[in-house]
Amino acid sequence: MLSEALRRRTFAIVSHPDAGKTTLTEKLLLYGGALHLAGTVTARKKERTTVSDWMELERKRGISVSSTVLNFDYGGYRVNLLDTPGHKDFSEDTYRVLTAVDSVIMVIDGGKGIEGQTRKLFEVCRRRSTPVFTFVNKMDRPALDTLALLDEIERVLSIRAYPMNLPMGSGVDFKGIFDRRAGTACFYERVPGGAYRAPVAAAGGIGDPIVKEALTSSAYATLLEEAEMVEHAGASFSPEDVLAGRTTPVFFGSAANNFGVQLLLDGFLEFSPPPLPRMSRGAPVDPGSELFSGFVFKIQANMDPKHRDRMAFVRIVSGRFERGMTAVNVRTGKTTRLANSSALFGRERTTVDEAFAGDVIGVLGVDALRIGDTLCADESVVYDEIPLFPPECFAIIHNPSPANYKRFREGLTQLALEGLVKLYEIPAGHQRISLLGAVGPLQFDLVQYRLESEYGAASRIENTDWTMVRRIKSKGVDSKDINNADEKSLHIPAGARLALDGDGRQVILFPTDWHMRFFEEHNDGVTLGDF
């Protein structure tokens, strides 16, 4: 079990939208033999659509809106690649995925540098001390100065940047990359299919005539200057610092043209960590332990359009998973048989009979599972890996067709269980109004799309002014939730509203910080808790 765990590499690819994350994912799959023809987001004729963007909405909009698991073998490693949404409105899904990986590849647009969503995702990695590898993409287009890019990574992200290779020019003058560790030049040629010349041995290092003749005089002078600067003033390379998240190895290339991708993959697999221990009740659980354990980090319904199925994505932390085994859901204390298990490749699935620490499997037919649940051979282990994020956008969702009420409610309940949105109810006389809470408004579009396409239930969205939600609690050392308050017993500012969350607990919605402060100042004996 330990040897199987050591050859696992489980990682996510993250980036700002349009930096080339999904394109890089496709090219990595090519090297793993998982694809024979890389797709494109726009899906031109004779080209298959990207396997990681399997939802019809993703193909129409050209963006990733749901995380995807892709498994393949390469160079003796078992690779579990998790593609994540790039758009900030779906960052909650990305954050959950980052709890299930041991390392991250961060994609940066060479022409734009560090962008907002990249910075936010990196902060999540920093808090978890997750090793980060950087791929500077689109070097075949006009790019920022190499030293400026490296400086920006160090300055903005507060991490040492070690260039594993250096670009030889950029844009129309891009001739390839120089591998600093191997002392070889790899020349770039823009040809159909993304082919390029094999690495050329440069006996004299960067001063070899082969390298000099390939570049313009100015580009060659720039390369020499950059090489000298990073050699004498740049970060030193330490595998230990990479594993500790203090240094990020930086690779340059062009994912769209399949250039520099193999060097990235080989370097990543060499220096990235195998499955790491996870904390349970204050103690680490070793991946090589014989005790089976794992946790649910994602739930997705209706991946197979022919069946109304519901799949739980489980990251295995320790031990061996065997199809048909029983495990305890620590949250409920109930034992369940894990009979329907799958290895995942986007939307496609194959039955998996066994899996080990680091693997991600899909489990069907266990409707009691929730995001964050721990599965274990016994109740000795419990993981608290999944972060919680407060909604920032709220919208009332209406069912325009009473005849579709059952499908409408079934769809809303399922999408809330997936964590796509949070579902609240606002008492209104003898009825209750359904309210959605989300990190970003695009999540509401996805809810409407999936309600109609998967459940046959149309809906109408009504935006609101609320921007935050809090639980009502009693003051004091033994502070408890107050679930029986009414508007008559509380001083509620105009614009705020009482509601119930998905667990039936009472919460209050506020438009602004001022409304929240007013509530706290005018209600003695009451305080506000996290959402």
Cα 330 to Cα 381: distance, rounded to the nearest angstrom: 8
Please state, as a whole number, how many other Cβ atoms lie within 10 Å of the Cβ of residue 201.
11
pLDDT of residue 91: 63
Q: What is the pLDDT of residue 167?
A: 96
- Looking at residue 64, its pLDDT comes to 42
CB within 8 Å of 219: residues ≥ 6 apart: 168, 169, 173, 175
254-280 burial string, b = 16+ CB within 10 Å, else e?
Answer: bbbbbbbbbbbbebbbebbbbbbebeb
Write down the pLDDT at residue 307. Answer: 61
Class of residue 457 by CB neighbours under 10 A (exposed 0-12, middle 13-18, buried 19+): buried
pLDDT tens profile 162-221: 999 999 999 989 999 999 999 999 988 876 655 566 677 777 788 899 899 989 999 999
Extract the tokens encoding 1. 């079990």
pLDDT at residue number 56: 52
**Lookup result for tokens 């067709």:** 401
Dump pLDDT digits (tens) for 14-35.
888 889 988 898 889 888 775 5
> Which 8-state DSSP code applies to residue 237?
P
Per-residue pLDDT reduced to its tens digit, 97-140: 889 999 999 999 999 999 988 888 888 889 889 999 999 999 99
What residue ranges define each of the domains in the chain, with the CATH number in brackets?
2-271 (3.40.50.300), 278-376 (3.40.50.300), 393-529 (3.30.70.3280)
**pLDDT at residue 121, as a whole number:** 84
How many whole angstroms separate alpha carbon 173 and alpha carbon 175?
A: 6
- For 441-461, write each residue's pLDDT tens digit: 888 988 999 899 989 999 999
Give CA separation, 447 vs 62, 151, 434, in Å: 18, 41, 13
Collapsing DSSP to helix, strand or coil, 377 comes out as coil
The mean pLDDT of the chain is 87
The string of pLDDT tens digits covering residues 74-100 is 999 999 998 776 545 456 778 888 899
pLDDT at 397 exceeding the cut of 90? yes
CB 490 within 8 A of CB 515: no
* Burial of residue 204, with CB atoms counted within 10 A of its CB: 0-12 exposed, 13-18 middle, 19 or more buried: exposed
**Could you tell me the pLDDT band of residue 462, with boundaries at 50, 70 and 90?**
very high
Q: What kind and span of H or E run contains 519? A: helix 513-521
- Contact criterion met (CB below 8 Å) for 331 and 364: no
Residues 6+ apart with CB under 8 A from 368: 329, 332, 334, 336
pTM tops 0.85? no
pLDDT at 481: 82
Q: CA torsion sign, 295 to 299 to 302 to 303? A: negative
Q: Is 52 helix (H, G, I), strand (E, B) or coil?
A: coil
Q: Is 281 exposed, middle or buried (0-12, 13-18, 19+ CB in 10 A)?
A: exposed
Reference 228, options 273, 178, 185; nearest CA is 178
